[in-house]
Structure 1
């Protein structure tokens, strides 16, 4: 698996939460399977086709989504794209969730 920014799963969670959506809602709106979204929530990056569909469904700039996921750098995305959240901006619960995800991934637990 490619290394993705720690904020990628949190970005997906935040986008869902802002809309009151669940994984199934994003999957339906983007025409993707729920398993694709669940993989993102575990830290796996999207491919360009899936990122394009998700960005359209979420009504966010494609470059923002690609930069958040680590597929491209903020510099490649151009000025004005800033990765969120900075670790200093995370709540305790968000930090704990990220740490748990990483421990699970590093222990070889099944996806």
Structure 2
């Protein structure tokens, strides 16, 4: 791992945010940035907090910090589509079949008589 890899990643991630703003987003003290800039190895908990604070891929952050390799992370592109965007590519016929199936299942559960423990015995 390049000695500066983590720090370069941090700078890309926080962009124009100050250390104070970035620390507030991540939930830790801003002094961590000074330590990292001087070459200190980050603590894994800080790496995770920073990535989550910036809604970034935690595995990518762990790779950049040198905790795991890219192979260990098995990094892939993660889709960031909304549900509507994902549904837009689904065939309409398939979508309708799924809706009908769910409506039928809902009706079946609504029509089923409730059974209580006392109802199931043959105590005529």
* TM interval, short-chain normalised: 0.5 to 0.7
What is the RMSD computed on CA atoms of the aligned residues?
2.0
8 A Cα contact 2:47 2:62, kept in partner: yes
Number of aligned residues: 77
Look up the match of 2:11: 13
Look up the match of 1:55: 51
Contiguous gaps of at least 5 residues in structure 2: 78-124
Q: What TM-score do you get using the length of structure 1 for normalisation?
A: 0.60
Structure 1 residue 52, shift from structure 2 partner: 1.6
Q: Which runs of 4+ in 1 moved over 3 A?
A: none
Look up the match of 1:65: 61
Contiguous gaps of at least 5 residues in structure 1: 82-111
Structure 1 residue 4, shift from structure 2 partner: 5.6
Structure 1 residue 5, shift from structure 2 partner: 4.1
Deviations 1:1-27 (A, max 9, x none): xx764321111111122xx20111111
Note if 1:42 corresponds to 2:38.
Answer: yes
Deviations 1:75-108 (A, max 9, x none): 1111338xxxxxxxxxxxxxxxxxxxxxxxxxxx
Greater C-alpha Rg: 2
Q: What TM-score do you get using the length of structure 2 for normalisation?
A: 0.54
Greater shift after overlay, 61-70 or 33-42? 33-42
Look up the match of 2:75: 79
Structure with a larger share of its residues in helix: 1
State the structure with bigger RCO (CA 8 A, min sep 6), 1 or 2: 1
